[in-house]
Amino acid sequence: MAKKTTYRPKLTKRRLKEWGWGYLFILPWVVGVSIFFLYAMVQSLQFSFYNLLLSGGIQLQPLANPFDNFASVFVKEINFPVTLANFAIGLVLQLPIIIAFSLIIALLLNSKIRARSFFRMIFFLPVIIATGPVMSQLTAQGVASVPMVSQNTLLTVLSGLPEFIYEPINNLFSQLILILWNSGIQILIFLAGLQKVPSTLYEAAKIDGASGWESFWKITLPTVRPMILLNSIYTIVTLATGGTNEIIELIYSVTYAATKGYSYGAAMSWIYTLIVGVILLIAFLLLREKEPKHQDEAVYRRDVEAAKTLAKLQAKNARHRRQRQRREGRAAK
């Protein structure tokens, strides 16, 4: 039986230089997170296993069981599991809508249309103005829903569903405009991915008789698949930490309640963090690029480069044929 070979990139001077620049660019983020985030996160985890007393300074009172605060969240907090279930279902409904809408708008903005830069600015504008207070005001004034959707009709259609499914769907339609406002960054990421697709691939596919729909599924979608994963992760984090998140509001009210306190709120926030981490892990496993089935990665890469070269040659030959046909047509006249 042949031994399976694995591809290991050589540590060339160019590769080491690229790695060095990459680490240099992420260094400010690493320093900022280490100074302002990691210490507070570890301290919050420590507080969740104690009873924090703020009289006369910070005092940590040991509990009979270190996990009492975590157990009390599910035993005493009736609203927390329901709110958490509504958030999870709402996230499952909102995520594909945001990703699909962002990809469609990116495809339109990447095409050759007039005032393309103006439309790109319009779709990115909500990222600047849609802060927490603005979103809250728009939601309170009832301008977040789609006017064509009748609320009474929607209630009639969804009346037979359980409440934990009905509420997220109702919220989805009532805040659909605000949900689509969260697509500005995703559109930019998709645009960056679409602009890296060689035009020769589309020309070669058109010569071979492929339609626009087939080119989308065979060329565009596989190319932007890493961007779909990136946008999905970004969208989940944005929705989980948004200003209109009911779970964050619940954690905030519990933290500053006189009968519960900071330790109780820290335990609740860590439970929420772990659940969001599980959702991120599931999204990563579902959307990640699978390893190629080739035994040798180098052979696979050579095949890809050969296919690209062939596509370029086909496109070049097609251009030459068109030029020759035009010259023959002018000579015939």
Residue whose token pair is 């991915």: 193
Give the pLDDT score at 73.
Answer: 81
Structural domains in the chain? 80-288 (1.10.3720.10)
Tens of pLDDT along 172-223? 666 666 667 778 888 888 888 888 887 777 787 788 777 878 888 888 888 8
* Count of positions (residues) in the chain: 333
pLDDT bin (cut points 50, 70, 90) of residue 2 is very low
Least confident of 32-46, 48-62, 231-245, 246-260: 48-62
Residue whose token pair is 């499952």: 92
Q: Is the pTM of this model over 0.75?
A: no
Tens of pLDDT along 286-305? 888 766 554 455 555 666 66
Average pLDDT score over residue span 108-119: 78
Give the pLDDT score at 1.
Answer: 44
Mean pLDDT (the chain) is 77
Q: In Å, how far from its chain's centre is CA 98?
A: 9
Average pLDDT score over residue span 75-94: 82
Give the pLDDT score at 232.
Answer: 92
Least confident of 58-67, 158-167, 213-222, 251-260: 158-167
Two tokens at 6? 């694995």
Tens of pLDDT along 21-58? 989 999 999 999 888 888 888 888 888 888 877 766 67
**Residue that wins the pLDDT comparison between 87 and 333:** 87
Decide if pLDDT at 13 tops 70. yes
Helices assigned H by DSSP within the chain: 13-33, 39-48, 68-76, 79-110, 116-129, 132-141, 151-158, 163-174, 176-181, 184-194, 199-207, 212-215, 221-223, 225-240, 246-255, 262-287, 297-332
DSSP 225-236: HHHHHHHHHHHH
Cβ neighbours of residue 269 under 8 Å, at least 6 residues apart?
A: 44, 251
Give the pLDDT score at 48.
Answer: 83
Do residues 178 and 96 make contact, with C-beta atoms less than 8 angstroms apart?
Answer: no
Give the pLDDT score at 280.
Answer: 92
Distance from C-alpha of 261 to C-alpha of 258, rounded to nearest angstrom = 6
